[in-house]
Amino acid sequence: MDPRVLEEMLPYFTVHYGNASSKTHSFGWVADEAVKIAREKVAALIGARPDEITFTSGATEAINLGIKGYVESNRSGRRKIIVSAAEHKAVLDTCTHLQKVGAEITVLPVGPDGLVEPAVLASILDEHTLLVCIMLANNETGVVQPIRTLSDLTHEKGAVFFSDTTQAAGKIPFDVMKTGVDMCCLSAHKFYGPKGTGALFARKNHPRIKLTAQADGGGHENGLRSGTLNVPGIAGMGKAAELAAAECNSAGEKISGLRDLLENSLVNTGKVFPNGNILQRLPNTSNLRFRDIRASSLIPVFPWIAMATGSACTSALPEPSHVLRAMGLSTEEAWSSIRFSFGRFNTMEETERVAGAFRDFLGKQ
């Protein structure tokens, strides 16, 4: 977390401990004001209106609220949901749940470079399609989809476009108007904010997205998400959004410089190959396949490097990455792949140390 975010949060644990829903005293008003400002900053990060933002406990909850909430409130008779094969488990598992209760799920394949082919989407979209779910940037490969083209195709058939923008928001410029996204989600800890705070964007106009709440109770967040608001977390998310809006371009350049340094250094050995389209990609992610080396034997050699196969979100499951498998990699190739991610606080010295360690290791293979 960015220290400036922590600084913003601290008073809401200590002096400003009021409940944002307490309307009868100044302690509540101060907390409510903090939430209001944070909502404006989060909305500004993605070009939305503040009243289109619902705070949640993270992207997973926002995804559940957006997708289930929209499907449950739908009265059009459309039942088909199109979902890309490389989505995060939060989206895939939500769709699997909906399939059990009557939705028709069609999985949209991705190409070997991780990109969705617009023509393939066009070929499976029809007048029964209610919702299309395609992420903006992939959390394992960083691959960025041609989202405007995909949302246009979706709207031509009268369907609604949901994009999991958790990984992209705050890392690359993203605007819900320019991309034609009807619903999207954010998670504060993906852009230097606190863990356990996120948001759903749901468009209020053209089209107006109607949602059924997934948590009933006191009617917080306009009746969409009941429960006492996490005021420190929300204040932190607002600050993180403000910093990301101001700094993501300059930070992105620095971060991609470090990422490319490591990637090129390993690819030049001839034993390492990048997974996914390396041109349409987030600045911070590198997903690399090591020839004839299993990641599970490589990762323990370097416990001081925080690298992983797949994503932290699915690491409880001993399965090869479904994202890489969807791109056509064999099980063995998927097991030989490692994701590296860089951030604002990584240094050139750290990057050179990691590159050096890997080059030594590969030299002995």
Ligand X SMILES: *Cc1c(COP(=O)(O)O)cnc(C)c1O
What string marks each residue from 286 to 325 as x (binds ligand X by CB under 6 A) or -?
Answer: ---------------------------x------------
CA distance 230 to 63: 18
Task: For residue 313, indicate whether it is catalytic.
Answer: yes
Concatenated DSSP letters of 173-217: ---HHHHT-SEEEEEGGGGTS-TT-EEEEE-SSSSPPP---SB-S
Nearest residue (CB) to ligand X, 30 versus 38:
38
Contact call for residue 54 and ligand X (CB under 6 A): no
Q: Which stretch binds ligand X (CB under 6 A): 52-60, 241-249, 267-275, 316-324?
A: 52-60
**Among residues 229, 176, 201, which one has the least CA distance to residue 62?**
201
Interface residue with ligand X among 198, 236, 276, 283 (CB under 6 A) is 198
Nearest residue (CB) to ligand X, 107 versus 313:
313
Least separation in angstroms between CB 164 and ligand X: 5
Nearest residue (CB) to ligand X, 30 versus 327:
327
Question: Are 344 and 5 within 8 A, CB to CB?
Answer: no
Least separation in angstroms between CB 306 and ligand X: 15
Total residues belonging to the chain:
365
Which residues lie below 8 Å from residue 93, measured CB to CB, with a gap of 6+? none
Least separation in angstroms between CB 186 and ligand X: 8
Interface residue with ligand X among 139, 284, 287, 321 (CB under 6 A) is 139
- 153-192 residues in contact with ligand X (CB under 6 A) are 164, 166-167, 187, 190
Nearest residue (CB) to ligand X, 187 versus 284:
187
Residue of 95, 133, 185, 313 marked active site: 313
Least separation in angstroms between CB 42 and ligand X: 14
What's at 109, amino acid-wise? P
Nearest residue (CB) to ligand X, 136 versus 266:
136
CA distance 335 to 324: 9
Q: Which stretch binds ligand X (CB under 6 A): 39-47, 57-65, 226-234, 277-285?
A: 57-65
CA distance 262 to 273: 12
Nearest residue (CB) to ligand X, 88 versus 220:
88
Contact call for residue 58 and ligand X (CB under 6 A): yes
Please tell me what DSSP assigns to residue 233: H
Strand partners, 272: 290
Contact call for residue 230 and ligand X (CB under 6 A): no
What string marks each residue from 67 to 96 as x (binds ligand X by CB under 6 A) or -?
Answer: ---------------------x-x------
Nearest residue (CB) to ligand X, 198 versus 276:
198
Least separation in angstroms between CB 171 and ligand X: 10
Q: Which stretch binds ligand X (CB under 6 A): 54-62, 172-180, 260-268, 348-356?
A: 54-62
Q: Which stretch binds ligand X (CB under 6 A): 53-61, 155-163, 209-217, 256-264?
A: 53-61
CA distance 342 to 351: 9
Q: Which two tokens stand for residue 205?
A: 């106009």
Which burial class, exposed, middle or buried, applies to 248 when counting CB atoms under 10 A from its CB (0-12, 13-18, 19+)? buried
CA distance 130 to 273: 38
Which burial class, exposed, middle or buried, applies to 214 when counting CB atoms under 10 A from its CB (0-12, 13-18, 19+)? middle
Alpha carbon distances (Å) from 93 to 83, 89, 160, 213, 314:
11, 6, 19, 18, 12
Active site residues per annotation:
313
Q: Can you give the binding site for ligand X, defined by CB under 6 A?
A: 58-60, 88, 90, 135, 139, 164, 166-167, 187, 190, 198, 313
